[in-house]
Amino acid sequence: MSHKPFRFSLQSFNTDSPKNWRNLIAKTEDLGYSTFFLADHFLSEGPALDTTGHPPQMLAATPAIAMALEQTTTLRVGCRVFCNDYRHAITLIKEAATMDYLSGGRYEFGLGAGWIKAEYEAVGLSFDEFPERFARFAETVEAYKAFMSGELIELNGESLQWSGFKGIPSTPQQPHPPIMIGGGSKKILTYAGEQADIVSLNFNNRAGTIGLDGMNSGMAEQTAKKVNWIKNGAGDRFKDIELEIGAYTTIVTDHAAPTAAAIGEQLGMSAEDVLQHPHCLIGSIDYICDELIRRREQYGISYVAVLDDGTNNMVDEFAPVVARLAGK
């Protein structure tokens, strides 16, 4: 079985100064990471965020992506992933085309149906049941592809009715900048198999918060099921899809077993469950490299994101893995 070469991304949430943020982007490019990602959240510290288990995000995604693209020459930049309900689809898609056009084809477009209930409620957005959110999201995916085609657009959906215009600017990446669809449910991952270029395996965030339910939904057995859902949706095109995952708990250490045991004790998992959890990478550089190769063999995952929260220096700690495996 052939596999796609490894790519690695750094996802940033916070920074203590504009200068340090620019330095982080430059270092991400210099150290050989493929992609620099933002997330798409707006809650700062406070009671609304406290209920979610999610870190605060300082920077708005779109202007930060644009500035990162302007600062770099080879680094790909995008959002992992935009929440479909947070802005009008025409604005989001026109901005995507513009950033790909101006960067010479280095933009990656990530989209999800939205999941943090408290974030919706904090700004008065209606947090509809998943079928309604999914339907709007699927219409945006259709609209994205129609806009990027350069053909006259005629959409007559429930939430989007567009007609009488063509999408411009034309993007360097054809037929469109690669679309990443993220999620953890059978419905969205099957759909991602049908429509996406990159599928981001995530927790099933049906609870609307980060917690034990989501963590359990990302364990090894459940991840294998998710890959099968993607395969079922993709059919013959599965070989062309890149599978991506967030290594949300990444710890470079020579004391993997006790570290995993301590984490597992908090989560009600065994140390072995934590070490083999597809969203965790805990161990030495040698161990992490071997584990990533094993997981690529097992699941087909070749695209891995590690998180920078502004304090953990992950860009440097994980750099030896990038140097060893990127492109191989």
DSSP 140-154: HHHHHHHHHH-SEEE
The model's pTM: 0.95
Q: CA-to-CA distance for 248 and 308, rounded, in angstroms?
A: 10
Q: What are phi and psi of 12, to 5 degrees?
A: -110, 140
pLDDT digits (tens, 9 = 90+) for 198-212: 999 987 655 555 556
> Which CATH superfamily hosts domain 39-242+251-303?
Luciferase-like domain (3.20.20.30)
pLDDT at res. 206 = 56
β-pairing, 107-112 with 76-79? parallel
Q: What is the pLDDT of residues 276-310, one digit of tens each?
A: 999 999 999 999 999 999 999 999 999 999 999 87
Side chain identity at 65, as an amino acid letter?
I
Which are the contacts of 97, defined by CB distance < 8 A and separation ≥ 6?
147, 148, 167, 168, 169, 170, 171, 177
**pLDDT of residue 186 exceeding 70:** yes
Asked if 52 and 122 count as a contact pair (C-beta separation under 8 A), the reply is: no
The pLDDT of residue 324: 98
